[in-house]
Amino acid sequence: MDTGGNSLTSGPDGVKRKVSYFYDPEVGNYYYGQGHPMKPHRIRMTHALLAHYGLLQNMQVYKPLPARERDLCRFHADDYVNFLRSITPETQQDQLRQLKRFNVGEDCPVFDGLFSFCQTYAGGSVGGAVKLNHNICDIAINWAGGLHHAKKCEASGFCYVNDIVLAILELLKQHQ
């Protein structure tokens, strides 16, 4: 069955796969800081390549809905999520004990829009899982996601919110 646009031929069977692609143009504006290896602007560059090669016409493109605090708290501790929501570059000097407690610092710095960034990338992954659960797509892509090092109560390895766990929890609603 040919589903027309918004699909890609995949695999030896030649069947068209429906692809949901999550992208927020603002994601490339987040900046971990001078010299930090994590560079969200690369997500914008990837999107530009997809557009240049004409691949976006083969996908349904969605702007992710920001993950809500209660979504984040499905895995992360409430006090950790509250900390991420409240910390800013201007207030971090007043919260040194909390920074240490939640492992926010050198690898996982505080930057402008930190919580919004977390909501965006987690929202894309959870949104992809919802689309998969409702058979709206066969493949879900969120280049901003995959930040799997975050723990229940702390940041780790450039990751603040574990969007992979959140997406798995969503998938478990429909799949073993």
Report pLDDT digits (tens) over 156-165.
Answer: 999 999 999 9
Query: In Å, how far are 4, 25, 124, 138 from 164, measured between CA atoms?
Result: 30, 21, 10, 18
Q: What is the token pair recorded at 146?
A: 């995959």
Give me the pLDDT at residue 13, please: 77
Give catalytic residues, as residue numbers. 149
Q: To the nearest whole number, what is the mean pLDDT of the chain?
A: 94
CATH 3.40.800.20 for domain 18-172: yes
pLDDT tens sequence across 76-134: 999 999 999 999 999 999 999 999 999 999 999 999 999 999 999 999 999 999 999 99
Q: How confident is the model at residue 11 (pLDDT cuts 50, 70, 90)?
A: low
pLDDT tens sequence across 30-46: 999 999 999 999 999 99
Backbone angles phi, psi at 150, to 5 degrees: -60, 140
The β-bridge partners of 20 are 60, 140
The full set of domain ranges for the chain reads: 18-172
* pTM reported for the whole predicted model: 0.91
- Whose tokens are 């969503």? That residue is 170
